[in-house]
């Protein structure tokens, strides 16, 4: 099925740092299973798949060959960036030869949103010497400015938080650019744990590793951008389908603009993912009566207009049932115009972390190379 261009919701799957070594290791089997699940169950429900770096644990050709073999199963576009482990052979020649011929940085527009895939490893000396370089920084500035002129929301894909950049003034420069433009999301790897940060304008999303697991189950994340609203869910590999994502309104933890808060009533929008046909989709507010949701034409979007209670936060639940009777559900705690968001730190780091969100497999323990765990 070819989705119509009027379907403005961008959706992508993020498979965390692979750290592939050889075909006998568990992480390669997990990677194969994740790729197969995405291909079979998600199909055209997503626009692309992204890998955030540290694809080959030692940057060796045979390790990239494993990744390339698995990725052949995917019919959706795949966008891959480099991590510090991809630099272990002294550069990124093996990365480009083994996984992609497209040089970083690169940009493309998907459903009216500009996606920037950048390289914070190649300009450095290897290891955690994360840098942008003057040319790439100028390219980012030009891309964000042009996207703004076209009224496009931007997404930035990079291996790590901007605060981890080592180049003189690069963190400050990138933070200024993010603050000056409509950057809805910075999508990252490196941490090895799931983490979301919200500086009040931009969501920073890190998905846990596939190959070096410090906490939580094997899986991948799914992200949607719906008219500037960011939704993020972790999909455990052994979790079932249908998989529901409320794309709007935003959970209060991911509220990034006052106009995204609810007032009086709201259109609830959701995607329902899974290979089986959907039999029924409905939503409720504050555990009230279930309201039938309708599919918007031939698009992926299900929607319904619902009343909003006069209180700061309201629980919105969407549940779906496929033709086999299997259920799926997503719950958000959405903000109304009475909600007062907390003060945020905007320095491109985890200082703006939303903290633990256990029902979304975010544990807040930071067991990984970025903070409390072993070095990557």
Q: Which residues contact 255 (CB under 8 A, 6 or more apart)?
A: 198, 261, 335, 339, 341
Q: Which two tokens stand for residue 230?
A: 């960011």
Q: Return the ∠ at Cα 85 (arms to 80 and 86), rounded to 5°.
A: 45
- CATH architecture for segment(s) 10-239: 4-Layer Sandwich (3.60)
For the domain spanning 252-335, the CATH number is 2.60.40.650
Over the stretch 223-244, which tens digit does the pLDDT of each residue have?
999 999 999 999 999 999 999 9
Q: What is the pLDDT of residues 252-309, one digit of tens each?
A: 999 999 999 999 899 999 999 999 999 999 999 998 999 999 998 877 899 999 999 9
d(CA 15, CA 7): 24
Helix (H/G/I), strand (E/B), else coil: 168: coil
- Per DSSP bridges, beta strands 106-110 and 113-117 are antiparallel
The whole-angstrom separation of Cα 244 and Cα 266 is 18
The pLDDT, as a whole number, for residue 250 is: 96
Residue 330: the pLDDT is 98
Residue 64 and residue 101: Cα distance in Å, rounded? 13
Regions of the chain short of the pLDDT cut 70: 1-7, 369-376
pLDDT at 180: 97
The owner of tokens 């290791």 is: 25
| Domains of the chain, residue spans | 10-239, 252-335
């Amino acid at each position: 099925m070819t989705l119509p261009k009027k379907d403005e919701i961008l959706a992508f799957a993020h498979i965390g740092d692979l750290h592939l070594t050889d075909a006998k290791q568990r992480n390669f089997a997990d990677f194969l299973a994740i790729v197969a699940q995405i291909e079979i169950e998600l199909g055209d429900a997503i626009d692309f798949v992204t890998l955030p770096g540290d694809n080959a644990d030692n940057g060796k050709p045979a390790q990239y060959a494993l990744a390339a073999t698995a990725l052949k199963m995917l019919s959706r576009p795949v966008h891959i960036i480099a991590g510090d482990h991809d630099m272990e052979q002294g550069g990124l020649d093996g990365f480009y030869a083994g996984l992609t011929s497209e040089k970083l940085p690169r940009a493309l527009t998907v459903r009216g949103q500009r996606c920037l895939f950048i390289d914070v490893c190649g300009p450095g000396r290897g290891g955690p010497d994360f840098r942008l370089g003057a040319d790439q920084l100028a390219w980012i500035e030009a891309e964000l400015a042009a996207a703004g002129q076209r009224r496009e929301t931007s997404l930035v894909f990079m291996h790590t938080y901007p605060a981890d950049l080592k180049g003189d003034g690069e963190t400050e420069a990138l933070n200024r650019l993010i603050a000056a433009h409509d950057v809805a999301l910075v999508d990252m790897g490196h941490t090895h744990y799931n983490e979301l940060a919200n500086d009040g304008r931009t969501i920073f999303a890190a998905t846990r590793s596939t190959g070096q697991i410090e906490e939580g189950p094997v899986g991948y994340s799914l992200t949607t951008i719906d008219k500037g609203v960011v939704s993020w869910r972790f999909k455990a590999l052994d979790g079932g389908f249908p998989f529901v994502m409320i794309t709007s309104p935003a959970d209060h933890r991911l509220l990034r603009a006052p106009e995204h808060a609810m007032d009086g009533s709201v259109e609830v929008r959701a995607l329902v993912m899974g290979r089986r046909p959907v039999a029924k989709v409905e939503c409720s507010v504050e555990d009230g009566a279930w309201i039938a949701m309708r599919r918007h034409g031939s698009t992926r979007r299900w929607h319904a207009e619902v009343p909003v209670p006069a209180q700061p936060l309201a629980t919105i639940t969407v549940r779906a049932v496929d033709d086999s009777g299997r259920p799926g559900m997503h719950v958000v705690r959405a903000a109304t115009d009475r909600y007062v968001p907390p003060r945020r730190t905007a320095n491109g780091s985890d200082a703006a972390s939303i903290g633990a969100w256990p029902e979304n497999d975010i544990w807040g323990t930071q067991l990984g190379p970025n903070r409390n765990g072993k070095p990557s």
